[in-house]
Amino acid sequence: MDHTTVGIIGGGPAGLLLARLLHNSGIDCVVLESRDRAYVEQRQRAGILEQSTVDVLRGSGAAERLDREGLVHDGIELRWNRRAQRIDFPALTGGRRVWVYAQTEVVKDLIALQTAGGAPLLFEARVTAVAGADTDRPVVHYTHQGQDKTLSCDYVVGCDGFHGVTRKAIPDGACRTFERVYPYSWFGILADVPPSCDELIYAHSPRGFALHSMRSTTVSRLYLQVANGTDPADWPDERIWDELDARFALDGGWRLERGPITSKAVLPMRSSVTEPMRWGRVFLAGDAAHIVPPTGAKGLNLAVSDVVVLARAFARLQDTGSAELLDAYSDTCLRRVWRAEHFSYFMTTTLHTDPGQSDFETRLQISQLDRIAASPHAAAELAGNYAGLTIE
């Protein structure tokens, strides 16, 4: 049976960055990823990197292309009642900002580094079970190239996302999951058209929420709030553009550029946290431990902060023999996770229209948005959370 110090399950952003950080500290690890490389590199997901995430990628040597191609954003625009309000991040946070750089590109950069001399990374290696989480030698069972294999580890880290297998290694009763499922979804499109705005636009409207984002100077990413169970086939391109136009409408006019739509997908919205994020020698990181609705742009950034805390703890263990930081891992991460959960919930419930929403509740949303526009303190609270906290 093969052996490694840290067995990492999942080659998404959490698993790949953890491998990079451990490798930089001289700690042995292996990444097992169930999908093939092309699939992992094409999977459309997040696109906003917080200041701390960019700092971490730079520090780990993975930001060369990000620094060349990433778009620095100094704010976002909120729209409601046909008016607009800009939130200036650096002015309100003492200089913090965000970067538009797609998760697919972060993943490509990390894979390129790992295959050029980093820790072993096995694609099409599907983990079927993790055994012995409460022993000194947990074992990962996986299939690779048609064969059943095992990897014994000093520690196992589940970076295998919300539907992964690692969480199942934790016995019932040893952890608790807190969850909220939202009564609406996001319908996301990619379009080959330059963005119609310089910064992201988050729009509250009587027709439901809309977001104008971008992947680059030539590709726009747009989202519409839709009912759960929506079939993209019911949304021909013209209907999508007309609906976006209606939701972004401003007094005084505003023009949304249209272009060929290259991808359509419906994304359900969920908040979920599993506590603690460790059991025995098995740790959970990223979406394996928590999910946020994408309205706060926090999912990818939380995955990054988890593995920074974990890599630091493994380095401390290696350098000093002290497990103090490893033992504190779950509590340290959960403080940030719950802050991000609250912010994502706040952004979601302030900007979306619940199907059963009363006029009273709509007035409360408008009042909250008016407050953000009128009060530098309220705007700073939003900006600080959006641009992201420093990593503890």
Ligand X SMILES: Cc1cc2nc3c(=O)[nH]c(=O)nc-3n(C[C@H](O)[C@H](O)[C@H](O)COP(=O)(O)OP(=O)(O)OC[C@H]3O[C@@H](n4cnc5c(N)ncnc54)[C@H](O)[C@@H]3O)c2cc1C
Contact set with ligand X (CB under 6 A) = 9-15, 32-35, 40, 45-46, 48, 103, 126-127, 159-161, 164-165, 267, 286-287, 294, 297-300, 303
Nearer to ligand X, 87 or 302 (CB): 302
CA dihedral defined by 265, 285, 384, 205, rounded to 10 degrees?
A: 20
168 catalytic, yes or no?
Answer: no
Q: What are phi and psi of 8, to 5 degrees?
A: -110, 120
CB of 69 to ligand X, least distance (A): 18
Nearer to ligand X, 79 or 298 (CB): 298
Answer for the pair 184, 228: CB distance below 8 angstroms, yes or no: yes
- What is the spatial distance between Cα 371 and Cα 374, in angstroms, rounded to a whole number? 5
73 catalytic, yes or no?
Answer: yes
> In a 10 Å sphere around its CB, with 0-12 CB exposed, 13-18 middle and 19+ buried, how is residue 269 labelled?
buried
- What is the spatial distance between Cα 30 and Cα 2, in angstroms, rounded to a whole number? 10
Nearer to ligand X, 9 or 78 (CB): 9
298 catalytic, yes or no?
Answer: yes
202 catalytic, yes or no?
Answer: yes
268 catalytic, yes or no?
Answer: no
- What is the spatial distance between Cα 108 and Cα 114, in angstroms, rounded to a whole number? 10
CB of 145 to ligand X, least distance (A): 14
- Of the residues 13, 138, 293, 294, only one is catalytic, namely 294
- What is the spatial distance between Cα 21 and Cα 199, in angstroms, rounded to a whole number? 31
CB of 215 to ligand X, least distance (A): 10
CB of 294 to ligand X, least distance (A): 4
Q: For the beta carbon of residue 346, count every other beta carbon within 10 angstroms.
A: 16
- Of the residues 202, 204, 293, 352, only one is catalytic, namely 202
Nearer to ligand X, 103 or 114 (CB): 103
Active site residues: 73, 202, 294, 298, 386
